[in-house]
């Protein structure tokens, strides 16, 4: 339903490349140029500044992009509201989620969602919580699912799932003989941490701070960019690590990893849906309601 010329324009504006826009839209580069020229001729203004091989938005292009984004949201709400009348939902929904949520929470739920809403195409972007928030603000996605605690005024946060961050080690680690440690012992144990920007790292740092422990007090052996990497590393080292309980259910069942309790230091958090501030509707609302109803099934 969204005007195709505006879709072409917004794609070029997002990719800042006529070639990449053509590849994404599955049309020829001359066709992209033609659509952009038609809009420029209609308004008598250049939408892009071409500087050698670089393409930048002109002031007119910046204005049109802001309106195009709003128009696209309106079209999405129209489609959602009208499709509700006959329970038909169609379109593409760009979703971003934190790495752990992408790996351990969403795949089975998205498969179930697809079985019910086969006309809805979900494109999933993965990154740490900070990256997903930025992708939402940059309008690369319409919906995010993150694990952080940060609260940005431009973003609406809706609680999704409860999670617990636990301290774990490999079954061959000498610490695996213990069931519990004191918080102060953490400063003497080699640790793996997630990378800066990770929601897991942010929540862990906040919890430790309440016990007077800073990240700089810890013996950090390495920071890794995914929970999978951390789990593999733990099986070949004497390190310990803070990870989401959702991420290690199989390893706990098989005995590969073991949870070591920290005395009087439970670390709980929520996963959140994130959407831009303003009315919520369209396909993002459809997926949010589905996930809220089905995540316990």
Q: CA-CA distance, 115 to 84, in Å (whole number)? A: 18
Per-residue pLDDT of the chain (297 residues; tens, 9 = 90+): 558 899 899 889 988 999 988 888 889 999 999 999 999 999 999 999 988 778 999 999 999 998 988 887 787 667 666 666 555 678 899 999 998 899 899 999 999 999 988 889 999 999 988 899 999 999 899 999 998 666 788 898 888 988 999 999 999 999 999 999 999 999 999 999 998 888 889 889 999 999 999 999 999 999 998 899 999 999 999 999 999 999 999 999 999 999 999 999 999 988 999 998 876 678 898 899 889 888 875
CA dist., res. 157 & res. 277, Å (int): 9
DSSP class of 51:
E
Tell me the C-alpha distance between 218 and 264, whole Å: 18
For residue 293, give both structure tokens. Answer: 């109803």
Q: What pLDDT does 296 receive?
A: 72
If we measure between CA atoms, which residue out of 237, 153, 162 comes closest to residue 203?
162
Give the pLDDT confidence score for residue 258 in this predicted structure: 96
Q: Is 0.85 topped by the overall pTM?
A: no
pLDDT, position 297? 53
Determine the pLDDT at residue 81: 65
So what's the pLDDT on residue 191?
Answer: 97
Question: 3-state SS of 159-197?
Answer: EEEEEEEEEEEECCCHHHHCCEECHHHHHHCEEEEECCC
- Contact between residue 142 and residue 93 where contact means Cβ atoms under 8 Å apart: yes
The per-residue pLDDT for 293 is: 84
């Amino acid at each position: 339903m969204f005007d195709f010329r505006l879709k072409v324009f917004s794609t070029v504006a997002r990719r800042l490349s006529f070639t990449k826009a053509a590849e994404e839209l599955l049309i020829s580069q001359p066709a992209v140029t033609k659509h952009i020229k038609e809009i420029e001729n209609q308004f008598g203004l250049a939408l892009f500044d071409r500087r050698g091989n670089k393409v930048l938005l002109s002031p007119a292009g910046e204005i049109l992009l802001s309106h195009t984004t709003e128009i696209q949201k309106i079209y999405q709400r129209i489609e959602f509201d009208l499709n509700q009348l006959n329970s038909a939902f169609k379109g593409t929904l760009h979703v971003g989620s934190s790495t752990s949520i992408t790996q351990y929470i969403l795949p089975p739920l998205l498969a179930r969602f697809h079985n019910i809403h086969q006309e809805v195409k979900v494109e999933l972007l993965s990154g740490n919580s900070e990256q997903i928030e930025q992708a939402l603000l940059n309008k690369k996605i319409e919906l995010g699912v993150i694990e952080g605690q940060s609260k940005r005024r431009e973003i609406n946060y809706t609680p999704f799932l409860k999670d617990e961050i636990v301290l774990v080690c490999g079954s061959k680690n000498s610490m695996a003989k213990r069931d519990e440690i004191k918080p102060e012992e953490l400063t003497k144990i080699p640790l793996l941490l997630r990378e800066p920007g990770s929601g897991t790292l942010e929540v862990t740092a906040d919890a430790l701070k309440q016990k007077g422990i800073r990240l700089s007090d810890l013996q950090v052996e390495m920071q890794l960019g995914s929970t999978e990497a951390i789990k593999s590393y733990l099986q070949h080292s004497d390190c310990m690590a803070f990870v989401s309980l959702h991420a290690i259910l199989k390893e706990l069942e098989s005995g590969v990893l073991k949870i070591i309790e920290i005395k009087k230091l439970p670390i709980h958090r929520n996963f959140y849906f994130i959407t831009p501030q303003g009315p919520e509707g369209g396909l993002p609302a459809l997926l949010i309601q589905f996930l809220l109803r089905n995540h316990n099934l």
